[in-house]
């Protein structure tokens, strides 16, 4: 009997091993389920990253699990703007900065630009000047604010305060710079680029993530000793006689997606912090602020009566009476002064309003799209030269734009790939997009204009009055390099809206409590700045929606 039992156990074990072996042989970790071939890259075979777990959380970011929510005003609209009517939207999971970008974070950016593109060099002066925040936003003709004008950006007392005086364009440029510096550090720490490569650069040898992924030999100005001078690259080279896979590729999953401005839908969803206000798939009640409840003071026993954000209490009251009831900030406050919301995000109400990525329109066109809503898509592609290689911007091909306010900014920096609009090669017979610039899609074309009755298929598009006729200020340089500013004095303008005004969200230290509602939305030209608008970055999540499995409560 004991022998029979032992034989049975042995048989079961053998079958189990066979099944496990079969299962393992068909596993993605070992071989392809499509061909059965090994996917370890040996002997010149296909190579895939089989050890990838999930996206790493970038510096300064927190994870925001996506979901469905009611975007727009759900309280009384006492201003009668009618620009935030409630509509249901869904956003994918993403990451967002825990706090607003601070002065010291922005100073690090300015320091890098000053070293790589010294403003003492006439060729690069406008790169640095174009990145500088406008400290004059603090001035008031009937206010004594010179202390902030002179000290707010650079004095260490304000180091961890949110940066202000930054335009939407400057915020986008900072986000691009941050993406490159984070990925540059990742490559160096993991041994793919030479140690210290990120410190050994000048204007002609900078690192750009997309350049590295598309044409790595052009990274660092074509310096191979920097681009593949690390121990990991040397190890890959020894294993690949044909130099395949020496450089990190997108399929390795090592580099992070871009830092960017959040979309309006993402920002509003993150600010609401609805994660603790749901019962299965239904929200319990409404939320007026990023915190729970409908009041601006804490109801908790330990902190009862404390302000939950800094904002303008009433006329002439920017902080409250000095002492216990004060919100401890008459202008901006140091980040993390107040409690975070349910996603772990600080200051999603109060402190500063924040730029988001979207072009402003009075409506959110949820009838056309209710998934990852965003207005502002301008599709581009890499420019290719005669040899079939990507065209990388050099120190001699920098293009500068002059904004309506006369400020000169660099359109792209050396080391980046030149972008051109998509054309028929990408749009022909597609149903989801037909042109490069989609900022005024379904809201500004002839069919949506107030002059729709004049529509004629043979009519010249340029002669049809536009939906939005915002002022057109002109700034041009003469032969001597002096700026000629021409202010639009037309009395026929009916709106301030055009394709270059951007949404900003959230109430600031200058605003009444009404504006603290995450659904509130306002706009400003993308080249202008104020003393109460800052920003924070976001990053898309690739892969799974959540960081953990789901189960019923």
**CA triple 359-501-476, angle to 5 deg:** 130
**Residue 18 falls within a domain, yes or no?**
yes
- If one counts the domains in the chain, the total is 1
Per-residue CA distances from 211 to 69, 227, 419 (Å): 37, 11, 12
Per-residue confidence (pLDDT) for residue 525, from 0 to 100: 95
Distance CA 470, CA 495 (A): 5
| Partners of 533 in the β-ladder | 353
**Residue 12 falls within a domain, yes or no?**
yes
Surface-to-core class of residue 167, CB atoms within 10 Å of its CB (0-12 exposed, 13-18 middle, 19+ buried): buried
Distance CA 541, CA 553 (A): 25
Quick one: which of 332, 376, 371, 374 has its CA closest to 354? Answer: 332
| Partners of 91 in the β-ladder | 67
Contacts of 196 (CB under 8 A, 6+ apart): 188
Q: What is the pLDDT of residues 293-304, one digit of tens each?
A: 777 887 777 777
Distance CA 517, CA 402 (A): 35
Q: What is the pLDDT of residues 173-220, one digit of tens each?
A: 999 999 999 999 999 999 999 999 898 899 999 999 999 999 999 999
Distance CA 224, CA 267 (A): 41
Q: What is the CA radius of gyration of the chain?
A: 27
Q: Output phi, psi for 475, to 5 deg.
A: -130, 120
Distance CA 196, CA 184 (A): 10
Per-residue confidence (pLDDT) for residue 291, from 0 to 100: 83
- What's this model's pTM, rounded to 2 decimal places? 0.90
**Residue 52 falls within a domain, yes or no?**
no
- CA 163, chain centre distance (Å): 16
Tokens of 481: 């390099």
Distance CA 127, CA 111 (A): 12
End-to-end CA distance of the chain: 48
Q: Which residues of 202-214 are buried (b: 16+ CB within 10 A; e: fewer)?
A: ebebbbbbbbbbb
**Residue 28 falls within a domain, yes or no?**
yes
Quick one: which of 290, 343, 268, 358 has its CA closest to 98? Answer: 343
Per-residue confidence (pLDDT) for residue 475, from 0 to 100: 84
Tokens of 345: 């995000």
| Residues listed for the chain | 553
**Residue 550 falls within a domain, yes or no?**
no
Per-residue CA distances from 320 to 74, 153, 315, 511 (Å): 28, 25, 11, 14
3-state secondary structure of 417: strand
Distance CA 363, CA 375 (A): 10
Contacts of 239 (CB under 8 A, 6+ apart): 41
Report the sign of the C-alpha dihedral through residues 462, 468, 471, 475, in that order.
negative
Give the containing element (helix H, strand E) for 108.
helix 103-116
Distance CA 310, CA 493 (A): 37
**Residue 425 falls within a domain, yes or no?**
no
Per-residue CA distances from 225 to 221, 222, 416, 511, 521 (Å): 11, 9, 19, 53, 49
Distance CA 101, CA 535 (A): 6
Tokens of 248: 């990190």
| Partners of 89 in the β-ladder | 69
Distance CA 190, CA 256 (A): 13
**Residue 38 falls within a domain, yes or no?**
yes
**Residue 326 falls within a domain, yes or no?**
no
Per-residue confidence (pLDDT) for residue 19, from 0 to 100: 44
3-state secondary structure of 43: helix
Per-residue confidence (pLDDT) for residue 314, from 0 to 100: 87
Distance CA 355, CA 261 (A): 7
3-state secondary structure of 167: coil
Q: Which stretches of the chain score pLDDT less than 50?
A: 15, 17-26, 455
Contact at 8 Å (CB) between 212 and 218?
A: no
| Partners of 355 in the β-ladder | 504
Per-residue confidence (pLDDT) for residue 371, from 0 to 100: 97
Angle between helices 168-189 and 103-116 (to 10 degrees): 80
Distance CA 254, CA 268 (A): 30
What domain range is 38 assigned to?
2-44
Q: What is the pLDDT of residues 38-58, one digit of tens each?
A: 887 776 678 888 888 899 999
């Amino acid at each position: 009997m004991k022998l029979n039992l032992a034989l049975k156990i042995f048989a079961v074990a053998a079958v189990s091993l066979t099944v496990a072996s079969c299962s393992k042989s068909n596993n993605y970790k070992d071989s392809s389920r499509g061909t059965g071939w090994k996917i370890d890259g040996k002997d010149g075979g296909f190579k895939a990253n089989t050890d990838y777990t999930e996206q790493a959380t970038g510096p300064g970011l927190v994870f925001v699990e996506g979901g469905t929510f009611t975007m727009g005003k759900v309280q009384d609209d006492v201003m009668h703007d009618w620009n935030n009517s409630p509509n249901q939207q869904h956003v994918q999971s993403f990451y967002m900065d825990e706090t607003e970008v601070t002065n010291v974070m922005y100073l690090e950016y300015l320091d890098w630009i000053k070293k790589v593109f010294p403003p003492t060099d006439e060729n690069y002066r406008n790169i640095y000047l174009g990145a500088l925040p406008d400290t004059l936003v603090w001035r008031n003709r009937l206010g004594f604010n010179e202390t902030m004008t002179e000290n707010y950006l650079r004095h260490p007392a304000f180091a961890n305060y949110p940066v202000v005086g930054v335009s939407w364009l400057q915020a986008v440029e900072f986000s691009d710079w941050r993406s490159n510096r984070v990925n540059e550090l990742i490559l160096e720490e993991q041994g793919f680029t030479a140690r210290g490569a990120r410190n050994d650069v000048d204007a002609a040898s900078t690192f750009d993530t997309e350049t590295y992924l598309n044409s790595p030999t052009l990274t660092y100005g074509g310096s191979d000793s920097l681009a593949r001078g690390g121990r990991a690259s040397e190890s890959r080279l020894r294993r690949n006689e044909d130099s395949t896979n020496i450089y990190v590729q997108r399929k390795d999953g090592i580099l992070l997606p871009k830092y960017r401005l959040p979309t309006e839908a993402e920002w509003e969803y993150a600010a609401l912090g609805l994660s603790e206000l749901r019962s299965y798939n239904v929200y319990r009640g409404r939320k007026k602020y990023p915190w729970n409840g409908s009041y601006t003071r804490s109801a908790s026993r330990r902190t009862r009566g404390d302000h939950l954000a800094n904002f303008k209490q009433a006329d002439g009251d920017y902080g409250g009476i000095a002492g216990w009831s004060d919100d401890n900030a008459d202008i901006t406050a140091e980040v993390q002064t107040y409690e975070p919301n349910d996603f772990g995000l600080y200051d999603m109400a109060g402190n500063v309003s924040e730029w988001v990525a979207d072009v402003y329109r009075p409506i959110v066109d949820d009838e056309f799209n209710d998934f990852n809503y965003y207005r502002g898509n301008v599709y581009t592609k890499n420019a290719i030269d005669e040899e079939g290689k990507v065209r990388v911007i050099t120190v001699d091909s920098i293009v500068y734009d002059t904004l309506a306010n006369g400020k000169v900014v660099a359109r792209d920096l050396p080391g980046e790939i030149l972008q051109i609009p998509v054309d028929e090669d990408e749009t022909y017979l597609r149903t989801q997009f037909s042109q490069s610039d989609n900022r005024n899609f379904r809201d500004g074309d002839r069919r949506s204009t107030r002059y729709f009755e004049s529509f004629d298929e043979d009519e010249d598009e340029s002669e049809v009055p536009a939906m939005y006729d915002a002022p057109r200020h002109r700034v041009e340089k003469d032969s001597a390099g002096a700026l000629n500013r021409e202010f639009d004095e037309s009395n026929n303008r009916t709106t301030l809206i055009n394709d270059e005004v951007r949404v900003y969200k959230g109430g600031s230290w200058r605003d009444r409590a009404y504006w603290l509602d995450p659904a509130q939305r306002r706009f400003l030209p993308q080249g202008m700045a104020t003393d109460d608008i800052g920003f924070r970055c976001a990053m898309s999540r690739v892969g799974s929606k959540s960081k953990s499995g789901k189960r019923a409560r």
